[in-house]
Structure 1
């Protein structure tokens, strides 16, 4: 139960860390493009390094997302395993019979 209450806090902490890491990666890639505030010509190596930094950060965020989805409660996983029309049919029949 405690884990259920801590999940939003952990998610916000992970989002904050992800944002910080993304900003740092962007700052590093920008500094590689123009060191010391001087506009240097963009080389293929600098562009490749900047892209790899951004791709690494993106991959780590997807890993965090997969871990968060895996740690959701079992009843929520059961809801996603149901056929797509089950909940809508149940809702529709409840609304029709309720009138």
Structure 2
């Protein structure tokens, strides 16, 4: 077991960071996320939809909590299905 982080950073409404972000900005945020976590700091991105968080950034997060997800559009349905398939214990999880 790893020790609990001494500091947690919570970023609410994370979609505001990524809306309209260029690929270069997303890569930089991914690097920053990796660096922060390597220093033992917990990092939480809070958003309404799994599709709001780029996969490259989500891949750097150790834990994912999803609650009461609903699909109101075909795009949300696709994102929700993809997120569910990667959850631990999912039938389709790798």
Q: When the two structures are superposed, what TM-score results if normalisation uses the length of structure 1?
A: 0.28
| Structure in which a larger fraction of residues adopt strand | 2
Structure 1 or 2: more helix by fraction: 1
TM-score w.r.t. the length of structure 2 is 0.29
- Which structure exhibits the higher relative contact order, with contacts defined as CA atoms closer than 8 Å and separated by 6 or more residues? 2
